Chain A
């Protein structure tokens, strides 16, 4: 399947792929990174996160990592997720699509940084 077939991505899917691009994460790590990335505006809850993860796995964009932390270090219920090469391509394609849109907006002088 070509990455373009899956575009546009839902904003949540994009954020999940984005934080996984930094490396493997478990569920709580993904939630925390997305909160940081979005300035606290996106706060995922378990039901939502795992339906998203389930879908991304089904579409081959992420996979479960073999990594298992030492039992005494971590909650053994946790599993780690990693971006697949295909997922990375989809993420890149989506970013490119967004970039084009942002450029178009910039060309019309629509983007104003909030005053500080």
Chain B
């Protein structure tokens, strides 16, 4: 039986027995029909959705059916005048009766049931949604055949070996793996590239790659239409192309006659090549290629180091890596001794950067679930205390301890079941909304695309497992404690003091635990928030607000020399600047806040060796610094003097000036970009500008600038300072301006510069926001938990309070009495929380880049906040104690 069907069958327990006997099989049949239909028309997603809705509907209808049955029963009795009596006598036996009794009790206290179910459902929902994201990234296999055999080939001993200065051999692309046929079934190499697709009416820029012949077999994809490259086509790098489903739909309208069509494309990385490719295949719609979405695949030209391998069945990653290194070492005997190669599992390589974030989120939501358990457990304890006489009566009538435990657990199980269904419903909505928002802010894409964020069998099973575990956590302690009911106690004796010391301790512990967990969550959210704020305060060195950036590639086949490219920009920039809503426009080889490699800089008369003076290269058009808002510190900006035939000029950032000539005036000194032996000329420094940020990392490359007239590139970014509220509003006009100069040139990578900066800190910001939400939920639960305990204490000790009031106790004494109960709990909770926070803070600091271990001052502030919340929770019980009229209470017995 399928999981969905089994879940549905369980919900039938919510109905009265005769209703279930009469309609149960039919309802299952109808459920099967609806499930099958949804599956046929909308696939697994639709089937899951209809299952969720049917489960929720069935539980709700069960309650309705009970109400209907009760109403019918009342009507029947009223008409027949029959006496009220035990019609179906006997004490309840059997699970169904427990369940029915539980449902009746829970219905009788709708407020309590609603609060308990809502608390649990929110926790289950949040937990399931977060787990759904974790599942999509870390657990569910990648969407390839036998994905566990796919491995990335890394040209270094570790992922960070390049940063550590371990360089692979220059001619690594010559590495020959043909002797490793028993280790690798297939290997693939590629060279990612972008292409401008030529067209008379709609030129377009798309992502693409030059791929080796083994690519399709390694990844395990077959074109949905047409074919992959033949070995012959790969061997001679024939001008054929396989295109994506999306491009086929977008550009060819899904025309099946696309095969054999010719497409002219200009490569970005090989700008001299304008190639007319013949389309031979279309990839399947659902094909997902890591996060490098690829619209055009063409046969690789020339050798290229292997990037991806499919291991032979049964070969382990470690074994393959060992064999690979033996071969690599033999073929490159002169390589750096520290160098080696490594293999990484495809899923691990795709997701390792998001793993820490996801683990932190999962831990946070786990704490929320714990606190929900403690909270509902506390509520149940209070409730069983109220029901003491009922339980005693049942014990007196011969119900054994096991029987009582089963009865109480059945009630908890009903709560947990309702919470599981409702929570799973929340989760499937939350996964598509919040989950998608989380994924959008993570640095890597959801494997298989964001559509894969949906609850599958793993997620449903985890949700059920978590609900069961929660049931044991919050249900067992109250059940055990209540089952110790003394048959004599509830009936006559003692209406005054009630809960035994053991039970009171248990409830106290639950409240303390909630406070402790709240503190941990608050501290986690707090330190992430501080990190986020610190990142937002970082000086950028430029003003991104209102700036639009877009890349523009002038193919060398169309613009073979610098003069023609310059003429293009000289014509374009005034047209863009004249557009309404545009204040200034320029071009740059690399816009600010875009990470790049550095080039060595030789400074005339500098004591610093050029290899230690790396700088980010920028080639800038006229008006660049004004357009992006970089301030001039000394000297002058580039101007009309810096012509192609003028004296070679350079501008540098303040950090590079300080590095090359500490304390001296750099204006008029000479630099050579690329190093003293580079081909370029010695340039005279004419101006120094503020440093600009390339990322949020602590270490930053300094800046170097060359005027566009003296060093043109084929690939430039257009930067436009707009006066519009959203710079994207100007984008269509900018594209039209480009087309008015040359109708063949599309803009690509169009976006607001401010967005680029925001995105860099988005995952931190979002993580701190989510943890903050969890923490707020936790604090609210803990405060409510403390309140219920104190309110209960005041009720339980009302005789004592009444005696004290009658004897002339002052308000002050009553405050002390209530706080005497509250403060030890708060103190214990805060102490435990502080200890856990110190411990977990170190874990967080190790996992999230830039996060610091917990700051004692922050911890003290949050402790004070929680204490204030606890005092607020205590005020109502205190006032109730003060208003107590002593005489009626004392007369109660």
Contact = CB atoms under 8 A, between A and B. Distances in A.
B31 A58 contact: no
Contact of A27 (B19, B26, B53): B26
B499 to A, nearest CB: 39
A47 B58 contact: yes
Residue among A45, A46, A58 with the highest chain B CB neighbour number at 10 A:
A46
Residue among A27, A48, A54 with the highest chain B CB neighbour number at 10 A:
A54
- Tell me the interface secondary structure of chain A in the complex: helix
A12 to B, nearest CB: 12
Given A51-B68, A54-B65, A54-B68, A46 B25 contact: no
Contacts of A51: 61, 64-65, 68
B54 A45 contact: yes
Contact of A77 (B26, B59, B64): B26
Residue among A47, A75, A77 with the highest chain B CB neighbour number at 10 A:
A47
Contacts of B758: none
A54 B54 contact: no
Interface string B388-400: 0000000000000
A21 interface: no
Given A51-B64, A54-B65, A28 B23 contact: no
Residue among B29, B50, B53, B62 with the highest chain A CB neighbour number at 10 A:
B29
Contacts of A89: none
B25 to A, nearest CB: 4
A58 B72 contact: yes
B17 interface: no
Contacts of B29: 27-28, 75, 77-78
A50 B26 contact: yes
Given A51-B61, A51-B65, A45 B28 contact: no
Interface string A37-62: 00000000111111101110010000
A31 interface: yes
B469 interface: no
A53 B23 contact: yes
Contacts of B570: none
Contacts of A26: 26
A78 B31 CA distance: 12
A54 B72 CA distance: 11
Nearest to B36: A28
A46 B19 CA distance: 13
A79 B24 CA distance: 12
Interface string B43-72: 000000010011001111110110010001
Given A31-B34, A50-B61, A51-B65, A45 B53 contact: yes
A8 B22 CA distance: 27
Contacts, number: 68
Nearest to B60: A47
Nearest to B32: A75
A54 B68 CA distance: 9
Interface in B26-42: 26-34
Contacts of B54: 45-47
B590 interface: no
A47 B33 CA distance: 14
A55 B33 CA distance: 23
A31 B57 contact: no
B523 to A, nearest CB: 44
Contact of A46 (B22, B30, B68, B72): B30
A58 to B, nearest CB: 6
Contacts of B26: 26-27, 50, 77-79
Contacts of B27: 27, 46-47, 50
Interface residues of A, number: 19
A55 B11 contact: no
A72 to B, nearest CB: 16
Contact of B57 (A46, A54, A78): A46
A27 B29 CA distance: 9
A75 B19 CA distance: 20
A95 B54 CA distance: 30
Interface string A66-94: 00000000010111000000000000000
A26 B53 CA distance: 21
A28 B57 contact: no
Contact of B25 (A28, A31, A55, A77): A77
B629 to A, nearest CB: 51
Contacts of A54: 19, 22-23, 65, 68
A2 B31 CA distance: 35
B59 A47 contact: yes
Contact of B23 (A45, A50, A75): A50
Contact of A47 (B11, B50, B68): B11
B62 A47 contact: yes
A46 B58 contact: yes
A28 B59 CA distance: 20
Contacts of A31: 30, 33-34
Contacts of A75: 29, 32
B68 A28 contact: no
A47 B57 contact: yes
Contacts of A78: 26, 29
Contacts of B23: 50, 53-54
A26 B25 CA distance: 13
A101 B743 CA distance: 63
Interface string A1-38: 00000000000000000000000001110010000000
Given A45-B34, A78-B26, 14 more contacts: A26-B26, A28-B29, A46-B27, A46-B31, A46-B57, A46-B58, A47-B57, A47-B58, A47-B59, A51-B61, A54-B23, A54-B65, A75-B32, A79-B26
9 nearest A-B pairs in the assembled complex, by CB-CB distance: A47-B61, A47-B58, A45-B57, A77-B29, A46-B27, A77-B25, A27-B30, A28-B33, A50-B23
Interface of A: 26-28, 31, 45-51, 53-55, 58, 75, 77-79
24 contacts: A26-B26, A27-B33, A31-B34, A45-B34, A45-B50, A45-B53, A45-B54, A46-B8, A46-B34, A46-B54, A46-B57, A46-B58, A47-B57, A47-B59, A47-B61, A49-B30, A50-B19, A50-B26, A50-B30, A51-B65, A54-B22, A58-B68, A77-B26, A78-B29
Interface of B: 8, 11, 19, 22-23, 25-34, 50, 53-54, 57-62, 64-65, 68, 72
